[in-house]
Amino acid sequence: MELGHFESAQRLFDQTLVSARARGDRFLEATALLNLSWSELQQEHFDQAVDWSDRAYRFSTAIDAGFIAQAALGNLGWAYYRLGEQEKALGLFLEARERANKIGAVTDEVAWLTNLGYVYLDAGDYSKAEQSYQDALALAQKITSKEDILNALVSLALVSERTGNLPQARDYADKTIALAPKDGNRLDVLYPMLVKGHVAARMHDTAQAEKTFREIEQDPKSHVFLKWEAEHSLAQLYEDENKSDAADREYRAALTTFETARSSLQHEESSLPFPANASRIYDDYIHFLVGQGKSAEALQVADYDRGRTLAEGLGLLQKGTSFKPDRAKAQTIARRAGGTILFYWLGEKQSYLWAITSQKTNVFPLPPKSEIEPVVQRYRKALSEQQEFLPTTDADGRALYRMLVAPATSLLTKDARVFIIPDGSLNTLNFETLLVPDPSPRYWIEDVTIADASSLRMLAASGGANRHASSLLLLGDAVAPNTDYPELRKAAAEMEIVEKHFPAAQQKIFAREQATPAAYLASKPEQFSYIHFVAHGTASRVSPLDSAIVLSRAGTEEDSFKLYARNIILHPLRAELVTISTCYGAGSRAYSGEGLVGLSWAFLRAGAHNVIGALWEVSDVSTPRLMDELYGALKKGSTPEAALRAAKLSLLHSGGAFGKPFYWAPFQLYTGS
């Protein structure tokens, strides 16, 4: 392993594992599992590394092997870090560092401190990153560990370069290269070389920077992360030198390298966070293309990044090892969808809005995401907490309309259909609640009918829904599984309201003790055109596919009352509409490129054509009335988005408390394939 012969090492670790099990040597078995996770990490097989690290942790904990357990936690953290799961990685590194400190595993503590610094560095918290690296260096010097000193020095070089202290960055990098053994791991030299290349580029030593980046890119020992960083750096270098063709070529090379790495992931769940690793490359490339007057190409690149895992799971896109944006005509998609598409990109330097009609596509520059996101978060928080409209709330609603919609108003007509393809924090915003300032202040829902889509690709596929008989699968009014999920007072009333809109012969209803996850999975849900849940819901930020609909207990297992998102996606659907009348049904975490992932995403992934999910806590007092209006409009032939809008407007114009966005705005319609 130390010499970089990872495949040979893995074969030996495999043999060790077989031998340990044959001899009943549990400590050696735990050690072999840990080393297999280490080997997979070094070969950049990160989802396999998650599996081996988790097995090593569980096994070592069972035999009380604390040293191995903390190392397995750290390896698990590194695997998640490389997969783009920063939140998980941070928690695991903190725990591994604490455990290592308690048992005196100093070498491992150095590693976890260094890795913590990487998480802080990526989050832009440079002071915390530098402190972690300095603590790691002090410990490494205390135990005179050359390898750990190398790692700490190259990390300090990184943070120095990011904060603009170029002489110090170069000094740290030179020290690292000088200390690296000539016959050791080549990566010990390549990482500080990358820093030196960045320093040369920022000091306008173009020739040296180009030579360094090219050497890293072409080195057979380069990790894939290093390779795409070198190619990205070359693209930026050529862009700064006004070599547009060369810059374009390197941006595409970097994204092809990234796609090659993404195609090697074996688990669909790993594909969700992984695009975060390429977010800066996509952002820089899109900004470059718009600056070159190639806004149509920029839109194609932006859409290529959207809803990839969802589209691949539905068979709309094949996984590949090259970067090939779709050539589909955006205006054709708008014509087939029958509305105007507002496609958003939130960027570090500048954000963009593409307004797409059947006749033309216009691109509008927007403020950077650092200006948009705080307003979005503040406004959403105010709406979801039942707040009366304070002056600041009112101002935020108007400001968001001015920033996000007003540039495209000339392309929008009264009562138009609008399809929103959001980005970043915009996934948590209900655009219907934005405040149109004139001629009289009003919510935007009063002017347009809105649906959300994850990408142009998904929207293009959404026109082919096969309408069949209006059959209903209805589950809810569950028996409380525990005190955390008390029974919903109005659940029975909502179920009665929904079922009255369907012929008795075309309904299948599971209520009370019968409303279990097992009942849903065994009901052949693919045969129903409408599926409706009246229940509590959970949204997991750390593991969104662990989001669940809370139903009645189905057995003695602790979680037998939870219908998990990860199980929903395994049962194909053809439903025209799935309605999740639960809190946070839309999910609570937006992945880079993928949007909110939770229950709504899971039903779309299963094949539902449209899904209604909630962005925040829903009221079981107002929801039955909204659902009555929704299904009444559907019965009269309205489309799901038009029916939902009519139901919301009935509450908005009711003249009472239900006119507040808290009651009608959490429900969002997502259109799928």
pLDDT value at residue 587 = 62
Asked whether the beta carbons of 216 and 190 are under 8 A apart, the reply is: yes
Q: pTM of the prediction?
A: 0.91
pLDDT value at residue 469 = 65
pLDDT value at residue 609 = 93
Whole-angstrom distance between the N-terminal and C-terminal Cα of the chain?
46
pLDDT value at residue 543 = 83
pLDDT value at residue 655 = 82
Is residue 468 pLDDT above 60, yes or no? no
Residue 94 CB coordination number (10 Å): 15
pLDDT value at residue 465 = 47
pLDDT value at residue 588 = 58
| Backbone angle region of 24, left / alpha / beta, with phi > 0 → left and psi within -120 to 50 → alpha | left
What would the pLDDT profile of 168-190 be if each residue is shown by its tens digit? Answer: 999 988 988 888 877 667 878 88
| Residue 439 token pair | 């001629």
Q: Quick one: pLDDT band at residue 141, thresholds 50, 70, 90?
A: very high
Q: What is the side-by-side strand order in the sheet with 667-671? A: 361-366, 351-356, 340-345, 416-421, 448-452, 667-671, 610-614, 577-581, 530-534, 472-478, 507-512
Residue 215: CB partners within 8 Å, gap ≥ 6? 193
Strand partners, 452: 420, 670
Strongest mean pLDDT among 297-306, 328-337, 616-625: 297-306
DSSP 39: H
Q: What angle do CA 221, 222, 223 make, to 5 degrees?
A: 115
How much is the mean pLDDT over the chain?
A: 90
pLDDT value at residue 2 = 79
**466-671 in CATH: which number?**
3.40.50.1460
Asked whether the beta carbons of 538 and 562 are under 8 A apart, the reply is: yes
| Residue 541 token pair | 């930020």
Tell the residue number behind the tokens 């007003």, with chain if given.
406
Residue 294: CB partners within 8 Å, gap ≥ 6? none
pLDDT value at residue 400 = 96
Averaged pLDDT, 341-361: 95
Sign, CA torsion 290/295/298/299 = positive
Give the distance between the most distant pair of CA atoms in the chain: 82
Closest CA to 26 of 61, 74, 54: 61
Is residue 66 pLDDT above 70, yes or no? yes
Averaged pLDDT, 136-147: 90
pLDDT value at residue 438 = 80
Please provide the size of the chain in residues.
673
Strand partners, 59: none
Residue 53: CB partners within 8 Å, gap ≥ 6? 34, 37, 72, 73, 75, 76, 79
Closest CA to 194 of 166, 146, 156, 227: 227
CA–CA gap between residue 78 and residue 222 (Å, rounded) = 18
Is residue 590 pLDDT above 70, yes or no? no
Is residue 101 pLDDT above 60, yes or no? yes
Q: Is 190 helix (H, G, I), strand (E, B) or coil?
A: helix
Residue 625: CB partners within 8 Å, gap ≥ 6? 650, 651, 658
* Residue of 327 and 638 predicted with greater confidence: 638
Asked whether the beta carbons of 298 and 289 are under 8 A apart, the reply is: yes
Q: What are phi and psi of 283, to 5 degrees?
A: -60, -45
Q: Is 483 helix (H, G, I), strand (E, B) or coil?
A: coil
Asked whether the beta carbons of 590 and 544 are under 8 A apart, the reply is: no
Is residue 467 pLDDT above 80, yes or no? no
* Strand-pair category, 610-614 with 667-671: antiparallel
Least confident of 107-121, 396-410, 454-468: 454-468
Asked whether the beta carbons of 237 and 259 are under 8 A apart, the reply is: no
Percent residues over pLDDT 90 in the chain: 66
Asked whether the beta carbons of 590 and 596 are under 8 A apart, the reply is: yes
Least confident of 469-473, 541-545, 557-561: 541-545
Residue 523: CB partners within 8 Å, gap ≥ 6? 473, 508, 510
Is residue 422 pLDDT above 60, yes or no? yes
What is the distance of C-alpha 652 from the center of its chain?
32
Asked whether the beta carbons of 370 and 352 are under 8 A apart, the reply is: no
Q: Is 570 helix (H, G, I), strand (E, B) or coil?
A: coil
Is residue 640 pLDDT above 90, yes or no? yes
Residue 170 CB coordination number (10 Å): 20
Is residue 132 pLDDT above 90, yes or no? yes
| Residue 432 token pair | 């219907």
Asked whether the beta carbons of 159 and 121 are under 8 A apart, the reply is: yes
Domain residue ranges of the chain, discontinuous segments joined by + = 330-460, 466-671
Least confident of 180-194, 274-288, 441-455: 180-194
What would the pLDDT profile of 517-552 be if each residue is shown by its tens digit? Answer: 999 999 999 999 999 999 988 888 778 888 899 999
* Strand-pair category, 351-356 with 340-345: antiparallel
Is residue 591 pLDDT above 70, yes or no? no
Averaged pLDDT, 388-415: 85
pLDDT value at residue 331 = 92
Q: What are the strands, taking DSSP E only, across 340-447?
A: 340-345, 351-356, 361-366, 416-421, 435-436, 442-443
Q: Quick one: pLDDT band at residue 345, thresholds 50, 70, 90?
A: very high
Averaged pLDDT, 646-653: 94
Strongest mean pLDDT among 285-289, 317-321, 633-637: 285-289
Averaged pLDDT, 131-150: 91
Q: What are phi and psi of 455, to 5 degrees?
A: -165, 165
DSSP3 helix / strand / coil % (the chain, rounded to 5): 60, 10, 30
Asked whether the beta carbons of 580 and 603 are under 8 A apart, the reply is: yes
CA–CA gap between residue 608 and residue 205 (Å, rounded) = 55
